[in-house]
Structure 1
């Protein structure tokens, strides 16, 4: 069986890239196709076992290395230029255009969908507002026109997929809403083995993510400001200076920390506080693998990956007051949380489980195709 793996781009190693890495482990002889690939040798070896990828014409355009996203209007036509006729199975990892590759009736195209294009659909107005594009002008008009055409192509290209796999029930519902397609849910792989259980907790809360607006670290900082509760914030990003201006003496902004230090901080924290609306959310699962409870939003992926009252506490909305109340609830119930039970729950999101589920599900789809 000849297999092709398709992914939007390789310029960093985040959650979606790790999924492709696992697909490559399952199908070591597969060819990989992507719009652009900027992985260095070290990351290529760890993620793809050193395998080279097939890239699109976007790779060769001026300034593509740093600004390839500026070529968004060309992405649909670029992904359609890959000739995948010889493959029996096409497995796409898609959050934008990877699902839009062209296949014929004799092939099986399975799409592992991380999300329908967020900034073209439910975050469209947030995207315009964040880019100061909502008030007219040539740039605003061009952006709106580009996203309008992307929405049309996005729905059209969803019909090229034979079977969708969603990375959470939250994304399954979005696929049904936008594409009118059903999807099978398989949670993405989390390297839970990298995090060891610790029952010895220190007296601090932890917030960890990239410091970008949608992660809502600002709400967490405000919720802890002027309290006696110690909060450690790990991560870097454009929000750093704004967060510094909000922080009081009980809040420490630690900036970037390496993987070993992050794991140690997660193990020792009394709880992780996580306010982002995520499609899945790997960080809360990593914290639970350490036996650390999670205080998080009861929406999106974290509504599924954290069990209220068992592995953490949910809050209903992204507000300072909701986070404060959730922390109060956690403090009142802290003694009831069992680190061993929390760590055991996290294993349902392990790499081993992901490989088994993907292999089994695609095997059934191939049998049905035959």
Structure 2
């Protein structure tokens, strides 16, 4: 294990691609800052309305045109990131930088700087989710566009000294789609504040719960169809562009809460019979871990990182999508109703500790120390002669 002082004594800065909707990537970047005792923190673009009180970043991409492009979204935002990150002058003065997200990969680091890049996912529509465009209009044009994006990243993805990824699933994708050698990739799971969840927070009641941003790739449709069919109570926590459509298809046993505060989230997760998760090829999935930390069984899709968060029959059950071989979500709910799970709530909660904030901080510090050690350009004879 690498000593903590190897990181504490390092001149380091953290840089995040951009604050966006208080999502998992933002929270991870803020936790990177806390884990390293609040070094200088930069963001490609800043949203002060979502920042915690202890976080005070500096905007890295400035200027009227660039700020306008960032706020506009789409291709103009991508172009602004591509231009804004290449030099990123404030970052160049540090011995070590730790970046978060894909956009900082456009950065061209000085040759004497150690660079660690935390990657949440590959560009998914251009890689593992490319088949999703088959149902879209102008498929050939979209394929050409996605090819161009892949070419852009082919020229940028091997420059950091070390990649840190949020799961073994993403490690595989970074190797396959970006061509990064395995020796340059380390897995450090995102931080989940597991100790704030408690199986005794609420008595278990007769309802199931799902929690996520209500977007197409979370595939809430199938969950609603299942609970409509079974006439069982389901609470859907979260908001997003799909909410209105999902509410229209939901029956009387399904309730939408929108966003809830942390206290209510902990109560719902602790009080549910089981947590249901159906996101497509999830890179990691923080909400399922939060449910497990609350001692609640997980009924998860048999793909992405979710498949590994379920220990079949012990802390939950896995299901497959309609048309695929294996038990459906309907089958899984019925099995859970009939057999329950082997582990008690405290054992389920202890399983989630491998994804804790403490484990994250230790992993990040070790990754930085490893990168610093391996990026040294000092000749061996120079050190051996005491010069």
Within the candidate set 98, 107, 115, 1:101 is matched to 107
| Alpha-carbon distance in 2 for matches of 1:39, 1:144 | 36
Instruction: Give the alignment's Cα RMSD to 1 decimal.
Output: 2.4
| Alpha-carbon distance in 1 for matches of 2:130, 2:82 | 18
The aligned residue for residue 334 of structure 1 is: 340
Paired residues for 1:81-120 under 5 Å:
81-83=87-89, 84-94=91-101, 96-120=102-126
The aligned residue for residue 277 of structure 2 is: 274
For the pair 1:158 / 2:165, whether they are aligned, the reply is no
Native 8 Å contact 1:2 1:86 kept in 2? no
Query: Which stretch of structure 1 is more off in the superposition, 13-22 or 25-34?
Result: 25-34
The aligned residue for residue 383 of structure 2 is: none
CA drift of 1:124 comes to 3.6
| Alpha-carbon distance in 2 for matches of 1:100, 1:62 | 18
Provide the TM-score with structure 2 as the length reference. 0.85
| Alpha-carbon distance in 2 for matches of 1:180, 1:348 | 28
| Alpha-carbon distance in 2 for matches of 1:59, 1:44 | 23
Paired residues for 1:1-370 under 5 Å:
1-28=10-37, 30-40=39-49, 43-46=50-53, 49-57=54-62, 60-61=65-66, 63-64=68-69, 66-71=71-76, 72-83=78-89, 84-94=91-101, 96-126=102-132, 129=135, 132-134=136-138, 141=141, 146-181=145-180, 182=182, 183-198=185-200, 200-277=203-280, 278-317=282-321, 322-334=328-340, 336-370=342-376
Unmatched 5+ residue regions in structure 2? 1-9, 377-387
Native 8 Å contact 1:211 1:237 kept in 2? yes
Q: How many equivalent pairs are there?
A: 358
| Alpha-carbon distance in 2 for matches of 1:324, 1:59 | 53
Provide the TM-score with structure 1 as the length reference. 0.88
| Alpha-carbon distance in 2 for matches of 1:144, 1:74 | 23
Unmatched 5+ residue regions in structure 1? none
Change in CA separation of 1:111 and 1:62 when aligned onto 2, cut-off 3 Å: closer
The CA deviation string for residues 301-323 of structure 1, in whole angstroms up to 9 with x for no partner, is 11222222222111133669711
